Structure 1
Amino acid sequence: MAENTGAGGAAASGFEELLDKYRRGMSIIVEGARIDTGQTPKEVVWTKNKAKLYRYEPYREKKHRTPILIVYALINRPYVLDLIPGNSFIEYLVGEGFDVYMLDWGIPGDEDAEMSFEHYVLDYLPRAARKVMRTSRTEDYTLFGYCMGGTMSAMYAALFPERMRNLILLTAPIAFPKEHLGLYALFTDSKYLDPGIMADAFGCIPGEIIDTGNRMLRPVTNYVGTYVNMWERIFEDKPMETWLAMNKWVNDGPPFPGAAFKQWITEFYQQNRLVKGEIRLRGRRVDLSNIRCPLLSVAGKKDHICTVPQAEAIMDLVSSEDKEFFVLDAGHVGLMTGRGAKKGLWPKVSGWLAERSG
C-alpha cells in the first residue's frame, strides 16, 4: 500500500494532532487534572487525629538553626506551598538552608464536625510547636501562617508568645469590617447566611460549597478564564504542569468542620471580634498586643479573599518593635505560586528570616 504523502498526508496528520489536543482538554474537564504534587521529600514526625506534622528533608544540612512551622488554613489543601518541583515555596526554603515543618490538618470526617478553633489553637498548635522544637533541638521557632492559618497563628502567638522567635503572616485576615470585605460582606451577611443552620445540616461543610462561594467572587475568571487558559496552553503547546497542579488544588477542597465554620463566619466576618479583643477560646481572651516578637505581614494588592486593609490591621495591634508590612502586586494564591513568586515573595521571606534566625 502506498504511503500517505503530500498535502493530503499533512492534512491528515494535522487533523489527528488537533483531535488529540481536544481529547487531552476534554479528559481534564471530565476527569480532573492529574499530576503529582507535594513532592519535596518529607517525613511525618507527629500526628493527632487527622493532622500530620511534616519535616522536610530532615537529613539535609541546615544553615539556619531556627525551625519554621508552617500553618495552613482549614480551607483547601496545604500542598499549594509544595506544588511541583521548581514551583514549590517549601522546596525553595529547604534549599536556602531552613529547617521546615508544615502542619497538615488532614481531611475531617463526620466525626470531626464539633472541631472548633479552641481545638486547633489550644490543643493542636501547642503540641505541634513543642514537637518542632524537640525534633530540631531548639528553644524557639518561627511560626508562618497562610490565609486562615495566619489568623489562627496570630491568635496562637497572642496566647503563647513565650518561645516564638518570629511570626510571619501571609495574606492573613485580621480585621473584618464590611467596607473591606468586598463581596464577602454580602455573602456572609447575617441577613443571608446563618452558619449555625449550615453546620446543623451538614456537620462538616462540603468543600464544594466553600469552593463555589470563593469562585463566585470572580465568576468569569474562575469559571471561564481558567479553561480558556487551559485550551490556549494545549493548542499552543505550552507547559501544562503548573496549570494542572493548580487546577487539581482548586478542586481538592476538604470539608470544613461545622463548629469552626460557625465561629469563622459569626465571630470574625459578622462580628469582627478579633480586632476588638473579644475572641475568647475556652475563656482565654485573645489579646494581639501580647505579640512582641519580630513580625512580617504580607498582603497582595489583587487579593480579593484577604484584602490589604484586612492584613494590615495587625500592625497597629501588636507590641512588636521589629515589624514590617510588605505588599506584593499579586493575588491571594498568585503571590505564592505565580510567575512573580520566585522574584517577589520567596526571596523576601528568606531574606527577612535569614536576618532573624540563628
Structure 2
Amino acid sequence: MEGNNGSSSENSRRPPIPLSASTTTTSCRQCFSIDSVPVNCKKTLVRHQSLVKTKTLDISVKPQLGAENHDADFIPIIRSGAWADIGFRSSMEDVYICADNFVSDYGLKNAIDGPSSFYGVFDGHGGKHAADFASYHLPRFIAEDEDFPMEVERVVASAFLQTDSAFAKACSLDAALASGTTALAALVVGRFLVVANAGDCRAVLCRRGNAIDMSNDHKPMCSKERKRIEASGGYIYDGYLNGLLNVARALGDWHMEGLKGNGSDGGPLSAEPELMTRQLTEEDEFLIIGCDGIWDVFRSQNAVDFARRRLQEHNDPVMCSKDLVDEALKRKSGDNLAVIVVCFQSDPPRNLVAPRPRVHRSISAEGLRELQGFLDDLAK
C-alpha cells in the first residue's frame, strides 16, 4: 500500500486503560490501518464496576427478514480481507479490526454452533485516539458479557455505550486523548449477521448480486436524526450537528461542549447504535464494510457490482478490498479509506444468467401491403 500514514509517536501510542478492577487477558487478531497488516496482540481489559450493569435503552433493532425454510441448514464459510489507505489526508484516523474466529481470538467460553466472527471499522475525527480505543475495547466488552451470544443485540448495543463511557473516563485522566470516532461492528453468529452502526460508516450485503444496506448513514440532516437531535437540545447549522460535526452519532467527543450529556437524554450526539439483523442464506455472497471515504464515491449497488466482478476474477477478499480502495482513490475520494470484505462462501460469486427477453415480432408496412395483396388475390 502506497502512502505515508502519517503516524507519529503521539498518534501511535495506545490510549491508557483508565479503569481499575480485575483483568481478563485475551488474544486477538487486530488489524490497524497503519500498514494494512494484521497485528497480533495480547492486551488486558479492565472494566469499571459502574459499567458492569448498563441501563438498557430503547435500541433500534430492525425486524429479522425471514429466510426461506430450505436455507435453514445453510452454514456460512467465513473468509475476510481488509485494506486501508491514508488517501489525500495528512494523517490516518481510520482503524479496522478483523476476527474471523471471535470465540478463539477473544477467549470466549460459550460454545457457538457455527461460525463466530467480529469485524469493525472506526473512522476517527479530531485525532485517532478514540478510534484506537474503540477498536480495542468494543469487542472485549462484547466477549466479556455473560449474555453473549444468547442476547447478541442487547450485548452489542450495551458494548457501544460502555466503550463510550470508558473513553470519557480515559479523557478525564488524559485530555490529550480528546477525539471522536464513528463505529460500525458486524458479527456473524451461526447463521445470523448482526450489524451495529453509530455514524456514517456503512455495511452492504450482496445477496445474489443485489445490494442490501445493513446500516443507515447517521447524518444530522436525516429527518429521524434531526428530530432526535432537536428533542435532546441540539440543533443543525449548515448541515452540521451544533455547527461542529457532520455526523449525528459517534463515540467520544466528550470535549466538545453541548454534544454529550450524562442525563437521561444523553445529549444530541448519541453513541447508541442502530442494529440490523438478518439470517444468512445460500444466496448471500459477501458483505462490504467501509468508512465514509468509500461511500463518498461508491453507491451501495455500484460497490457490490464492482466487488462481485473482482471476486469472480480472483476470489480473494484481501485483493477485493484493495481493489475497492484503489478505485476510490481513482475516483478522487478525499478522505481516509478503510474497507473490509467478508465472504460467506468458499466459491466465487456465480455468473448471473439474465432471463432472455420475450421476442416481440412486428410486420413492416411493406409486409402488410404484400399480405393484403395476397388476401385480395384469394378473394377474387
| TM-score, normalized by the shorter chain, greater than 0.5 | no
Relative to its length, the structure with more helix (as a share) is 1
Question: Quick check: which has more Rg, 1 or 2?
Answer: 2
TM-score when normalising by structure 1: 0.28
Q: Given the two structures, how large is their TM-score scaled by the length of structure 2?
A: 0.27
